[in-house]
Amino acid sequence: MRVGHPYIPNTREIREQMLREMGIASIDDLFADIPEKIRLKRALKLPRAMSELEVKRHMKAMLAKNKPFTQMLSFIGGGAWPHDIPSHVQALARRSEFVTSYTPYQPEASQGMLQTLFEYQSMIAELVGLDVANASMYDWASALGEAALTCARITRRKRFLIPKLISPERRVTLQTYVVGPGLEVAEIGYDRKTGRLDLSQLRAQLGQDVAGVYVENPSYLGFLETQVEEMSDAAHKAGALFVVGVNPISLGLLKAPGDYGADIVVGEGQPLGNPVSFGGPYLGIFACRGEMKLVRQMPGRLIGMTTTLEGGKRGYCMVLATREQHIRHERATSNICTNNALCAVSAAIYLASLGPQGLRGVAERCAANASYAMKKLNAIHGLKAPIFDAPHFNEFTLNCDGTRMSIEKLNSKLLERGIQGGISLRREFPELGETALLCTTELHSREDIDRLAEELEEIVGGQR
Amino acid sequence: MSYQQARWTEPLIFELSKPGRTAVSLPEKSPEGVNIPKKLLREQLGLPEVSEPQVVRHYTRLSQMNWSVDSGFYPLGSCTMKYNPKICEELAALETVTCVHPRQSEDTVQGALELIYKLEKYLAEIVGVSRVTLHPSAGAHGEFTGMLITRAYHKFKGEEQQRTEVIVPDSAHGTNFASAAMAGFSVVVVPSDARGRVDLDALKNAVSDRTAALMLTNPNTLGLFDDQILGITDIVHGAGGLLYYDGANLNGIMGKTRPGDMGFDIVHYNLHKTFSTPHGGGGPGSGPIGVTRELERFLPVPVVEYDRKRDHYYLDYDRPDSIGKINGFYGNFGVLVKAYAYILLMGAEGLTEAAETATLNANYIMRKLLGVKGYELKFDSGRPCKHEVVFSAEPLKRETGATAKDIAKRLLDYGVHAPTYYFPPIVHEALMIEPTETEPREELDHFVDALKAIAEEARSSPEKLRTAPHATAIGRLDEVKASREPILSWRMHKKSRPRMPTSSVEIIREMRARS
Ligand SMILES: Cc1ncc(COP(=O)(O)O)c(C=O)c1O
């Protein structure tokens, strides 16, 4: 007897028996309605099927050509941040009852996912200081795109203001998202000394046509915006919405955006218990004030608390679906259907595990490491860290204009010594000179930072 | 048959909180202080404080109250809830996947780029397109990307101002309409004919020099292959429009026919359906799109290229006609690893066997259920379906008052997840059943028997349906109230507490008092 396929329980014998019972001569009869002309009359040109053992060997060998940051010292961040993920967080989020379920369309049979997502929404709400968070977008960049569209719908205006110092990934994604309704994205400059968004430029740009003002705090280049209240006031005075982008880890320490006037908060939830995995899957955070005017225009899925019909028990279900594509079709607030729920599950378990003290502890370690690194690197002749005179969270700029080396050269010398340096900003922001963006998290030890400083000193010194 | 889901009275994590508890330990603090002015710092953070054993029990219990493919049959139509091989999870959890940063230097990510490059090639062959991008995060994201490419194409030809309409059949999934609208198109709906196909005369009337594209899934949402497909592509192409293929239903035709050969210009894939990456309780998925040679120039940046001479993979951003970017990096890489593994495990033969068996299983259910009083096919019962079959429970409703929703809820008591219901909208009391290839015949028989038994119950003891489900963690919920007076977070709940009846904690307290 021919051995069956491991994932296909109906063996050839069973299938033939089923066909016989159905009075069908051959499986091909089930495909007879495909016009002859477009039937595929050959096998697909793919590698031959492999056993699990062969696949494991093949893929492990291929993936071994990657160098994970666990095998080198890395200072790269910029919108994806390596953090420790507690073992139990991974173990719980990988439970197959979560992993192999889908959108909780049948709330009675899916209370586990629903309550977990409700808890996720609740913890994000606490973190950002707003009443409502949805049950996930794809990532920060796409959440920002959706935020701009949301602002335009609410205000019926067509201009969206963003800081000039923003990651190119997010800026380009935003610009792609707003093509449909034809929104204009305009950049606000920054103060050369502190990096801060230029308030007077912002005020000058704010008019009756501005739907939203977006700032990031911490900024893409790691410094903190110290005039967020003023920005919020300026935006609101002009009738625009105030949107803030965050690294959620920073909110273990920093003031919640909802407390300084944010109407909408977006951000990258990846650092909350999700690995960096070469860019995805990540977790788009999208939160807003509890006002129904905003909530009704919000994209994505929302889980609400309710009771059983007879009223005795608490339960959870999807709510306000009339905003969504399956009901509202082309008038939906977004087309999003499948989202990144499992990443939200990881985030919920991560936040519940850390609690206020733990998250504060992680944030403090990230920030303290950065301030130690800045101090050490800035002391090296020819290097400047940071280039902006401002408080920083866990990322900072490193400039090597004082050496005769380009930042790329510096990075490749570091790589030769087993260190992944920062992101070169040469192409993104040429006006900043030979500058890179470096990141530290709780993963870095004092020795790691000392080593970076020593290697840099040698590289820079050796060149003189 | 008897089934009972776990039924914990599990409080919210916030209700387990006690000051000072934590579930983590952190490395020693650096002596260097935090250098941030006090006025920027927060004073309070309302996260729960719980220990590790409590966190583990809490989320383990919640997981036990969650139906999944690994729990049992999940014939949720249009979602392809097939079994997800464990090896794929193991590979995606390797450090050489999870601990690789998207902005690391190219030399240190050659394995990742090679995987992307090869997966693109395999996917292109499977649907017959020239080039694939793996960036989109889900099917709808792929649709949006495809619609932006459609826009870019017409702009390139100088017809952007004129081509403002996208045609979508009335049987289409909601995302199609929404994606077209998000890209700035107006949507023109065409009806289905008596056999559930696109009505060709209506399509002829709908196309014009305003037509930018037609979005179509084939097999369609009725599970039927539209055999007039070549006529459809001729009409749309003849009018200067593009053809967009919604790949949600690829599992019914893989290895048998290819959208590219049918004449589609843009094709999306749902890797979380056809290619067995798990659905994660709602995601993450992955929704790559493939395009014809003519449309390659518009694909999102960066594109992965291979330099044969240097045996080096690299990211190419230098693509002036690109639509730009649709998310932060290069797509859901962790998901791509699973799809790549799946394709290698299956091979050409395995993928074809999957499509054939998925189709056989759906037809088996169709045959077994056909003639059962209470259920009927609205469209074309003479032809085979593909990977799914859509029954209407309208006869049962007429006879007993039981709705498709009642049937779906009652199925949960039989240890089966409900089919998709009330979709597609062109079938009243629709039950959309997609068994996939990973179910044994015994499970299909059980499912059919359950539907028969439920039809009987609708006649003999209708309250069993109306009050179903009984075997799940909880009974039917007040979903109307949930949307009318939304409580969307713990904060909102605390503010609205008087409105809510007893909390779980209070229930527990009551139970204790009673016993
Ligand atoms: C027919 C059809 N098209 C499109 C989609 C959207 O795909 P996704 O949920 O991955 O965004 C779905 C998913 O449910 C679908 O069933």
* Cα separation, B284 vs B337, whole angstroms: 13
At residue B506, the pLDDT reads 54
Task: With a cut of 70, say whether residue B497 has pLDDT above it.
Answer: no
At residue A448, the pLDDT reads 97
Backbone angles phi and psi of A197, in degrees to 5: -55, 135
For residue B219, whether the previous peptide bond is cis, meaning omega lies within 30 degrees of 0, is: yes
* Residue (of B256, B263, B254) closest to B214 by Cα position: B263
Task: With a cut of 90, say whether residue A463 has pLDDT above it.
Answer: no
At residue A251, the pLDDT reads 98
- Pocket probe mutation, ligand 1, options B74, B76, B78, max atoms within 8 Å of Cβ: B78
Q: Which among A107, A305, A392 has CB closest to B487?
A: A305
| B165-169/B186-190 β-pairing | parallel
Residue pair A286/A143 in contact by the 8 Å Cβ criterion = yes
- CB-neighbour burial class of residue B86 (10 A; exposed 0-12, middle 13-18, buried 19+): exposed
- pLDDT (tens digit per residue) in B255-304: 999 999 999 999 999 999 999 999 999 999 999 999 999 999 999 999 99
Residues in chain B within 8 Å Cβ distance of A252: 45
Backbone angles phi and psi of A20, in degrees to 5: -60, -45
Average pLDDT, chain B: 95
Residue whose structure tokens are 């029990």: B57
* Cα separation, A67 vs B100, whole angstroms: 7
* Cα separation, B211 vs A148, whole angstroms: 28
For residue B284, whether the previous peptide bond is cis, meaning omega lies within 30 degrees of 0, is: yes
- pLDDT (tens digit per residue) in A70-120: 999 999 999 999 999 999 999 999 999 999 999 999 999 999 999 999 999
- pLDDT (tens digit per residue) in B192-208: 998 899 999 999 999 99
Average pLDDT over residues A289-299: 96
Residues in chain A within 8 Å Cβ distance of B279: 100-103, 338
Q: Which among A74, A170, A282 has CB closest to B101?
A: A74
Contacts of B413 (CB under 8 A, 6+ apart): B3, B468, B469, B470, B471, B472
Residue pair A347/A121 in contact by the 8 Å Cβ criterion = no
Angle at B115 between CA B113 and CA B120, to 5 degrees: 100
At residue B33, the pLDDT reads 86
| CATH architecture entry for A69-82+355-461 | Alpha-Beta Complex (3.90)
Task: With a cut of 70, say whether residue B508 has pLDDT above it.
Answer: no
Q: Whose CA is nearest to atom 8 of ligand 1?
A: B139
Length of chain B: 515
Residue pair A202/A189 in contact by the 8 Å Cβ criterion = no
Nearest CA-CA distance, residue A193 and chain B, Å: 17
- pLDDT (tens digit per residue) in A394-434: 999 999 999 999 999 999 999 999 999 999 999 999 999 99
At residue B2, the pLDDT reads 81
Tokens of A349: 């378990």
- pLDDT (tens digit per residue) in B404-414: 999 999 999 99
Q: Where are the domains of chain A?
A: 69-82+355-461, 87-351
Tokens of A448: 């790691």
CATH of the domain spanning A87-351, picked from 3.40.50.2300, 3.40.640.10, 3.30.230.10, 3.90.1150.10? 3.40.640.10
Average pLDDT over residues A296-312: 95
Q: Which chain B residue lies closest to A418 (C-alpha atoms)?
A: B108
Is A208 in the B-facing interface, judged by CB distances under 8 Å? Answer: no
* Cα separation, A124 vs A302, whole angstroms: 13
CB–CB contact A337 B174 (8 Å):
yes
Is A110 in the B-facing interface, judged by CB distances under 8 Å? Answer: yes
At residue B501, the pLDDT reads 46
**pLDDT class of A252 with cuts at 50, 70, 90:** very high
CA of B252 to the centre of ligand 1 (A): 15
For residue A275, whether the previous peptide bond is cis, meaning omega lies within 30 degrees of 0, is: no
- Taking only Cα atoms into account, the Rg of chain B, rounded to an integer number of angstroms, comes to 26
**pLDDT class of A2 with cuts at 50, 70, 90:** confident
Residue B23, CA distances (Å) to A87, A199, A359, B46, B57 in order:
11, 42, 11, 16, 12
* Cα separation, B485 vs A388, whole angstroms: 47
Which letter, b or e, does each residue of A147-186 get, where b requires 16 or more Cβ atoms within 10 Å of its Cβ?
bbbbbbbbbebebbbbbbbbbbbbbbbbbbbbbbbebeee
Nearest CA-CA distance, residue B339 and chain A, Å: 12
How many Å is the maximal CA-CA distance in chain B? 79
At residue B31, the pLDDT reads 77
At residue A464, the pLDDT reads 46
**Domains in chain B, CATH or no CATH each:** 92-345 (3.40.640.10)
* Residue (of A195, A222, A214, A210) closest to A140 by Cα position: A214
Residues in chain A within 8 Å Cβ distance of B262: 38
Residues in chain A within 8 Å Cβ distance of B324: 172-173, 175-176
At residue B513, the pLDDT reads 53
What is the secondary structure of A182-210 as a DSSP string?
TPEEEEE-B-TTT--B-HHHHHHH--TTE
**pLDDT class of B509 with cuts at 50, 70, 90:** low
CB–CB contact A277 B334 (8 Å):
yes
Tokens of A370: 């950065």
Is A41 in the B-facing interface, judged by CB distances under 8 Å? Answer: no
CB–CB contact B178 A10 (8 Å):
no
Q: Do domains A69-82+355-461 and A87-351 have the same CATH topology?
A: no
- pLDDT (tens digit per residue) in B442-478: 999 999 999 999 999 999 999 999 999 999 999 999 9
CB–CB contact B66 A280 (8 Å):
no
- pLDDT (tens digit per residue) in A65-77: 999 999 999 999 9
Task: With a cut of 60, say whether residue B515 has pLDDT above it.
Answer: no
- pLDDT (tens digit per residue) in B83-124: 999 999 999 999 999 999 999 999 999 999 999 999 999 999
- Taking only Cα atoms into account, the Rg of chain A, rounded to an integer number of angstroms, comes to 26
- pLDDT (tens digit per residue) in A194-232: 999 999 999 999 999 999 999 999 999 999 999 999 999
Rounded to the nearest angstrom, the gap between the alpha carbon of residue B44 and the centroid of all alpha carbons in its chain is: 38
Atom of ligand 1 nearest to the CA of B247: 3
Is B462 in the A-facing interface, judged by CB distances under 8 Å? Answer: no
Taking the model in full, what pTM does it have? 0.97
- pLDDT (tens digit per residue) in A338-383: 999 999 999 999 999 999 999 999 999 999 999 999 999 999 999 9
Q: CA quadruple A156, A157, A160, A161: dihedral positive or negative?
A: negative
Task: With a cut of 80, say whether residue B503 has pLDDT above it.
Answer: no
Task: With a cut of 80, say whether residue B71 has pLDDT above it.
Answer: yes
Task: With a cut of 60, say whether residue B498 has pLDDT above it.
Answer: no
Atom of ligand 1 nearest to the CA of A338: 9
A2/A254: higher pLDDT: A254
For an interface test with A, give the residue of B54, B119, B329, B367 to mutate (most A CBs within 10 A).
Answer: B329
Is A295 in the B-facing interface, judged by CB distances under 8 Å? Answer: yes
